[in-house]
Structure 1
C-alpha cells in the first residue's frame, strides 16, 4: 500500500494571502478523466521535522510550551520548520533538538512521515528517533526567545507518553504520531527504522506551476 502522486492538469494558481510561515493559495485544476475543473484553497507550508529522543531506559525527551492558537501549554517533542535553505531534514531535526532541549544527537534514524492535514495544507512532516544523546556544551547552547524561552523539558517513559495520548491528556499531533509510531517500532525490535537520510518522495512536491502568474490579491 503506497501513496502516489496524481498527474493533474493545473490551470491557474493565485495567492489569496501571504504570511510569515505559510501562504493561502487557490488552485484551479482538472483530474485525469474529468472534464469539469475543480477549485481548492490550501496552505503552502515549508514542511517540518520532529525528533523523539530516547535514553537507555526508553524514556522520551518531552518539552512543554505555550501554543497561542489553542491557548494551551502542550507537551511535545522537539520540532521545527524546514525553513533553512539547503538544510537536509535530518540535520534540521538534530538542530531543533539542540536548540529546544540542549541535546546533541548520537545515533539518528527515521521513524515516520505524514501529511498534517492534506485536505487543507501541503505540510509534510518527518520524525526521527535519536539515541545516545549528550548535553550541548554550555558555550554552545541556543538562546531561546518568545514562547520557546519558557520551554520546560523532562524525560517520560515511552509507555506513559502513549497512555497520555490514548487518554486524551496530550494533544500535540507530532507527539501523538511519534509516540505511537515509536511504540510500534519498539514492539518490532526497532527493525522498521530507516536511515536518517532516506529519500522523501512527499517533499518537495512535484512542480505544479501552471505557467501562469501567481497573482497576489
Structure 2
C-alpha cells in the first residue's frame, strides 16, 4: 500500500457563502456521503500561505514574536504570509515575506514541507521553504503596521527550538512543522536532497 494523499471530490448538491471577509470567507456545502445522506460542511476558504525557515551559518533560525488575537498569545513564528495574488509563484511570495518581516535575503531555497493547517475546517494550504545563504537585504526596511509594529525579531539555535516544541512551549504550526522537518531531513538524505523551490504544488498551482 502506498502511503500518499490523493485528490478526491464527493458530490456537492448545493453551496452557500454566508460570510465574506477581507482575505477569507466561510462556505457551507451540502455534501453527499457514501451512504447517500446529504450533510452540511462549514469551512473557511483561504487563499493559501507560504512560510520560510531561514537558517543562518551558525545553525540559527530567524524567528519573530507576534501577537495573535484568536489565541490571545504572542507566538514565536517563522516569517510567513498569504498568497495574495491568485496563481502567484510561492517562491516569489516567500522571498517577499522574508524581506518584509526580517529584512533578510537568501541564496539557496528548498521546499521543506507542504501542509494543510486545519483540513477539517479550512482549506488553507501552506508551503514551508528552507532558506540558506542568508544576508542582510538591501534598501530600507519594510514599513510595518498593526500587530507587526509590535513584532520582535531573533535568531534561535535549531536545538533550542526543537526543545521548545517538545516541551509544549512553542505552538505555531509552521514553526513546529518547519523545525521538525529540518531535523528529519538532516537525519535522512540531507538538506540538498529536499525538493527544489519550484517543485509542483497541486494544492495551489502557480505560474513559473
What residue number does 1:163 align with?
163
Following superposition, which runs of at least 4 residues in structure 1 exceed 6 angstroms of deviation?
none
What residue number does 2:176 align with?
176
What residue number does 1:57 align with?
58
Alpha-carbon distance between aligned partners in 2 of 1:150 and 1:105, rounded to the nearest angstrom? 25
Alpha-carbon distance between aligned partners in 1 of 2:192 and 2:21, rounded to the nearest angstrom? 40
Contact 2:111/2:194, CA 8 A, preserved across alignment: yes
Contact 1:159/1:183, CA 8 A, preserved across alignment: no
What residue number does 2:84 align with?
83
Alpha-carbon distance between aligned partners in 1 of 2:9 and 2:167, rounded to the nearest angstrom? 41
Alpha-carbon distance between aligned partners in 1 of 2:192 and 2:35, rounded to the nearest angstrom? 42
What residue number does 1:29 align with?
31
Alpha-carbon distance between aligned partners in 1 of 2:39 and 2:68, rounded to the nearest angstrom? 34
SS in 2 for 1:106: strand
Structure 1 residue 191: Cα displacement? 4.7
Alpha-carbon distance between aligned partners in 2 of 1:113 and 1:130, rounded to the nearest angstrom? 15
What residue number does 1:144 align with?
144
What residue number does 1:102 align with?
103
Q: TM-score, normalised by structure 2?
A: 0.92
Instruction: Count residues with an aligned counterpart.
Output: 202
Gaps of 5+ in 1: 205-217
Gaps of 5+ in 2: none
What residue number does 2:118 align with?
117
Q: TM-score, normalised by structure 1?
A: 0.88
Structure 1 residue 192: Cα displacement? 4.4
What residue number does 1:196 align with?
197
What residue number does 2:4 align with?
2
Structure 1 residue 86: Cα displacement? 3.8
